[in-house]
Amino acid sequence: MKKQMRSCFFLLLLASLVLIAACSNGANPAADTGSNTPASQTASGGGGENKEPIKIGAVFSLTGPNSPLGVPEKQAVEMLVKEINGSGGVDGRPLEVIFEDDKSDNTEAVKAIKKLVSKENVMAVLGSSGSGPSLGMADFAAQQKLPMISMAAADQITNPVRPGIFKTPHTDLHATKRIYKFLQEKGITKVAMLNDSNAYGSGFTAQLKKFAPEYGITIVAEEKYGTKDPSMTSQLTKIKGTDAEVLIVAGTNPGPATIAKEAKQLGFTIPIISSHGSANSKFIELAGEAAEGVLLVAGKLLVADQIDANDPQAAIIKKFVDEYQAAYNAPADGFAGYGYDGLNILIEGLKLADFDPSKLAESLEKVNYVGVTGEFAFSAEDHNGLHEDSMIMVEVKDGTFQILK
Amino acid sequence: MAELLQYVANGFVGGGIYAIIAVGFVTIYNVSKVINLAQGEFLMLGGMIMVSLIGLHVPYGLAFLLAVTAVTIFGILLQKYVISYVKRATPLSLIILTIGVSILIRGFASLIWGKDAFALEPITSHEPISFGGITIAQQSVWVIAAVLVILLFLWYLMDKTMVGRKIKACSVNTKAARLMGISPGKMAGLAFAISAASGAVAGIVIAPLSVTSYDVGVLLGVKGFSAAILGGLGNPIGAVIAGFLLGLLESLGAGYISSGLKDAIAFIVLIAFLVIKPTGIFGERSVGKGGL
């Protein structure tokens, strides 16, 4: 009897372990069912039913760790598709975007783009949300000469430039230059940095080091921390002992929030500048009181309500934020902006190509478009099209981000 | 000089936490010969339950008591319905079982709380305290205080009370203890309760220093386990000393050698030490009894 119970218990334990494993991988079991249609969803409708739709694929990370990026991206694209089709579509043809979920996984992303090409015969692809999946997709897209616009951060996606491969977010290069410009204005020359040792942080470290001489900056301390480290007090103590005038932190939350807290606990007096990777409301929520006075470099969308009315981006940012709020009852974040800009750029490119898919890759290089992320000016050498001036410096004051003039 | 003192102070705070976890390992190991690798999850549960209760506007003190009680009950249930069911299993399968349990707990925690990090308000204010050239957070003082209270309480319990003697009897010779009318099962439950409660307290007091999330237990558990091994598994005093030593090594290593190698330095010293003296600092007493 007892033995039976014991084996029952083991089965139960085994079952629950399997369940947990399944949950932590997929998060949304519904997305796994069936390999044919259920995973793909289409957004279309309205306008020009008689004509053949313009088919575009979109691979986003809708489940898994990158889902906070992928979900708003998809929502922004869906919203824009509805708007475009509501006003007659593109060139009188309805726009159809076929969504795929890469589950935040590199292999899944490549599978998804292959499926979009072979099965749906799309003329271009948006995505993906993360840098890893995007790089995988970019290799395939470049082989197939399929235009692709990524929403991921890594500089390597568009550097070196490959025909047809573009991206919308700012890179660490822009953030670095923006921070250094700000320091130049303030007459600060001695900098300490404490960056995450992951790909994002070390990429940022490389850019900070590369551009320091150009802006007359001396790096007096270069420290690292692990993404999962519970405490960075030792690194901060070391930095406190140097003559640094400012501390630059590059990482994604919670790391920078922890650093802000511990810097305060150690009685830091120099200002902290945190990178755009941490510029979201989570930073203030986690760092609490210690966030006060911290400076961050960010996209304008972070402080949409404070953008100057004369700013070239003011109109589109206001339109986007209002529409997104109305559609989803949630504030639009930077990721939603990347998706929104991506589809808009693609359509601008299509217009320039006279709706000929074979010319699309080439015409995308001529697109000049004022978006919510920044003013894009693509060229044959620049497939990101952004300039550091489309980033802004903000300061945390009374628990909100305040733009620094 | 001020820097050195600051590193030592930082290391002391981190080391104190490792010491509590290490003592948790040792307490359970001594009584039931189980190496409970789910020890780090007790800290995570303490911190996360506390965050949830504060979110529900429960007063700080009450939330503290509720969180510690909840984790303690969880520890007892874990022993009663999971560990003791497989008592006759080999030590190796028991270790694997506790790894499974810790993955299970983390999985559920990520379902309940999500994978985001959370902040917890400190017990007293955010303002740091400065003296003699070093600066520490008020919360760090609370951490040290909690560590000392827990360690003193455990010492008193083990050395001065009947319950402590019973626990010790079980660890020295289970069969003889049973013949004397002591229930080893009950004592094992008590050991789990003590480890869970001290883990929960540690998890709560360290949460305000940085942030807490569903997976903080992993790294802390590994560090605490290393301290327990370094101290000579089975010796609580050794575990405490090793815990503080590990914290100091980490802090000084990150400060004077390289912050990128922070974890590596502590573990290199651990490996080197164990190669020279495999029984740990004070390890003569009981290594080998549990089949490790």
Q: What is the mean pLDDT of chain B?
A: 87
Check residue A74 and give its pLDDT.
95
| Pair A204, A176: CB distance under 8 Å | yes
Of B2, B117, B121, the CB nearest to A254: B117
Among chain A residues, CA nearest to B125:
A289
Tokens of B72: 């303690």
> Residue A14 — very low, low, confident or very high, per pLDDT cuts 50/70/90?
low
Question: CB distance A286–B117 less than 8 Å?
Answer: yes
Of A231, A237, A288, the CB nearest to B6: A237
Q: Which residue has the tokens 């094992």?
A: B188
| Pair A227, A197: CB distance under 8 Å | yes
**More confidently predicted of A394 and A36:** A394
Check residue A31 and give its pLDDT.
38
Phi and psi at residue A237, to the nearest 5°: -60, -45
Check residue A15 and give its pLDDT.
52
Among chain B residues, CA nearest to A229:
B219
Among chain A residues, CA nearest to B140:
A265
Check residue A27 and give its pLDDT.
38
Contacts of A254 in chain B (CB under 8 A): 117, 210-211, 213
Core vs surface per residue B211-232: b (16+ CB within 10 A) or e: bbbbbbbbebbbbbbbbbbbbb
| Pair A375, A313: CB distance under 8 Å | yes
Question: CB distance A285–B14 less than 8 Å?
Answer: no
Opening angle at CA B164, ends B162 and B166, nearest 5: 70
pLDDT tens for each residue of A151-188 = 998 888 998 899 999 999 998 899 999 999 999 999 99
Question: CB distance A226–B103 less than 8 Å?
Answer: no
Distance of alpha carbon A337 from alpha carbon A328, whole angstroms: 14
Lowest mean pLDDT among A40-49, B79-88, B214-223, B279-288: A40-49
Beta-bridged to residue B118, according to DSSP, are B212
- Percentage of chain B modeled with pLDDT above 90: 43
Question: CB distance A257–B7 less than 8 Å?
Answer: no
Of A224, A231, A261, the CB nearest to B260: A224
Q: How many angstroms separate the CA of residue B160 from the nearest CA in chain A?
A: 36
Q: Computed over its alpha carbons, how large is the radius of gyration of chain A?
A: 23
| Pair A279, A301: CB distance under 8 Å | no
Of B100, B128, B209, the CB nearest to A17: B100
Distance of alpha carbon A39 from alpha carbon A23, whole angstroms: 17
Among chain A residues, CA nearest to B210:
A258
Residue A210 has pLDDT above 60, yes or no: yes
pLDDT tens for each residue of B57-98 = 999 999 999 999 999 999 999 999 888 887 677 878 888 899
Among chain A residues, CA nearest to B264:
A226
Residues B182-202 have a mean pLDDT of: 92
Check residue A41 and give its pLDDT.
55
First-to-last C-alpha distance (Å) of chain B: 43
Question: Domains along chain A?
Answer: 54-170+310-387 (3.40.50.2300), 173-307+391-403 (3.40.50.2300)
Check residue A229 and give its pLDDT.
80
Burial (0-12, 13-18, 19+ Cβ within 10 Å), A41: middle
Q: What is the mean pLDDT of chain A?
A: 86
Pick among A231, A259, A285, A292 to test the B interface (most B CBs inside 10 A):
A231
pTM: 0.78
Domain residues for the domain of B209 are 2-289
Q: What is the CATH number of the domain that holds B19?
A: 1.10.3470
Among chain A residues, CA nearest to B260:
A224
First-to-last C-alpha distance (Å) of chain A: 76
Distance of alpha carbon B40 from alpha carbon B202, whole angstroms: 10
Of A228, A235, A289, the CB nearest to B259: A235
Question: CB distance B209–A231 less than 8 Å?
Answer: yes
Q: How many angstroms separate the CA of residue A209 from the nearest CA in chain B?
A: 17
Q: How many angstroms separate the CA of residue B259 from the nearest CA in chain A?
A: 6
What is the number of other CB atoms lying within 10 angstroms of the CB of residue B90? Answer: 10
Q: How many angstroms separate the CA of residue A93 from the nearest CA in chain B?
A: 42
Which residues lie closer than 8 Å to A127 by C-beta, 6 or more apart?
A: A57, A58, A59, A60, A73, A100, A102, A109, A113, A133, A134, A137, A148, A149, A150, A151
ipTM value > 0.90: no
Q: How many CB pairs under 8 A join A and B?
A: 120
Check residue A184 and give its pLDDT.
94
Among chain B residues, CA nearest to A287:
B119
Of A6, A235, A266, the CB nearest to B128: A266
Number of domains chain B contains: 1
Contacts of A9 in chain B (CB under 8 A): 85
> Residue A249 — very low, low, confident or very high, per pLDDT cuts 50/70/90?
very high
Q: Which residue has the tokens 């309480």?
A: B153
pLDDT tens for each residue of B88-143 = 778 788 888 999 999 999 999 989 998 788 889 888 888 888 887 788 889 999 99
Q: Which residue has the tokens 């429960």?
A: B58
User: What are the residues of chain A with a beta carbon less than 8 Å away from any beta carbon of chain B?
Assistant: 6, 9, 13, 16-17, 20-21, 23-24, 65, 197, 223-226, 228-235, 237-238, 240-241, 253-254, 257-258, 261-262, 264-267, 282, 285-290
Q: How many angstroms separate the CA of residue B267 from the nearest CA in chain A?
A: 15
Q: How many angstroms separate the CA of residue B242 from the nearest CA in chain A?
A: 19
Pick among A233, A259, A286, A292 to test the B interface (most B CBs inside 10 A):
A233
Secondary structure class of B223 (helix, strand, coil): helix
